[in-house]
Structure 1
């Protein structure tokens, strides 16, 4: 359990640093996600934190539109509280990918999102886009191991609910490109395109 909690803690701290570094006039910048601005990226991440907390856990005191940093800090604290409590972290629930413990679901969804959407936020707001190499390798292994039929579902808009698109269409990236770029291409981002 500590490994998952610590991984989340590290990734959340990095995402929080990126939010804090967004210039005030950059929140409306287009992100690599076609439908989202930089603020929308943070709003999605905060909303997914609420999803991880189950029914009734989806709203926090501060809204992203009012204060993106504080909204994320509140969501982060709530999820970290679950991860730091063995009883809560071990509770099982049905998820779109099968039965998982709360900590497994957090690890596979919002923790991974912090890395990928951290790149989106950095790209949208002119920050360092470099992902942690260990995170890139871990995400590459997990993403390339997704069965083809599940990957197709991940790429189908609305397959997991209205307006939800997990991955976009794969973007061709040279085979000798850095692993970060290949990962981004695999999930539907074009690392060569600057907005």
Structure 2
């Protein structure tokens, strides 16, 4: 799982680091976020999951800093020790492996969001997508109840696993700016 997190953080970090100032106001598939707000959310995600890896508290979101790749590196370092994966998160009341999967989920899905918003290519490793697809199938009802996921989008029988994952979250895999 740590290898999956590392690959996803690297991919999403490269997208975030490559943003030009004129792209920060672009819309994203997350209707509540433009690119700047989505990167700011990812910065918080990295800080949050770094804290949780150390069995620490939930952390507050801060102002956009534009340093997501560095925060992601700190998050990955926090998940390196074996004890990070043991037991339950005091802050969330969930098994640590579930908490780590939530971090991976955000890295992949929001990486796709950034790529879509800016027209950049995006791909995720098939084993990562399969793991997240099972996780999303299990978590989708609760995610919808909490307003984290929108209603599932219908995709065709020939949809890729990534398209199915995105559809479970309420994202249209065909989303494009202005569409």
Shared fold per TM-score greater than 0.5: yes
- Structure whose residues are more often strand by fraction: 1
What is the alpha-carbon distance in structure 2 between the residues aligned to residue 177 and residue 56 of structure 1?
A: 36
* Counterpart selection for 1:55 from 31, 54, 57: 57
What is the alpha-carbon distance in structure 1 between the residues aligned to residue 35 and residue 173 of structure 2?
A: 16
- Residue 106 (structure 1) shift: 4.2
* Counterpart selection for 2:144 from 145, 155, 158: 155
Compute the RMSD of aligned alpha carbons.
2.3
- Report 1:6-21 matches (<5 A): 6-21=3-18
What is the alpha-carbon distance in structure 2 between the residues aligned to residue 115 and residue 80 of structure 1?
A: 14
User: Deviation string for 1:13-68 (max 9, x for gaps)?
Assistant: 111111122232111100001111011111112212222213275578xx52x4x2
Match of 1:112 in 2: 105
User: Deviation string for 1:85-136 (max 9, x for gaps)?
Assistant: 234443532465x4313xx244211122111100000001110033332222
Q: TM-score, normalised by structure 1?
A: 0.76
Match of 2:38 in 1: 41
Mapped pair 1:93 → 2:89: yes
What is the alpha-carbon distance in structure 1 between the residues aligned to residue 75 and residue 87 of structure 2?
A: 14
Runs (5+) with no aligned partner, structure 2: none
What is the alpha-carbon distance in structure 2 between the residues aligned to residue 59 and residue 183 of structure 1?
A: 26
- Which range is displaced more, 49-58 or 110-119? 49-58
Tell whether the 8 Å contact from 1:169 to 1:188 is kept in structure 2 after alignment. Answer: yes
Tell whether the 8 Å contact from 1:175 to 1:182 is kept in structure 2 after alignment. Answer: no
Match of 2:28 in 1: 31
Runs (5+) with no aligned partner, structure 1: 160-164
Task: Specify whether residues 57 and 34 from structure 1 end up closer, same or farther in structure 2 by C-alpha distance, changes over 3 A only.
Answer: closer
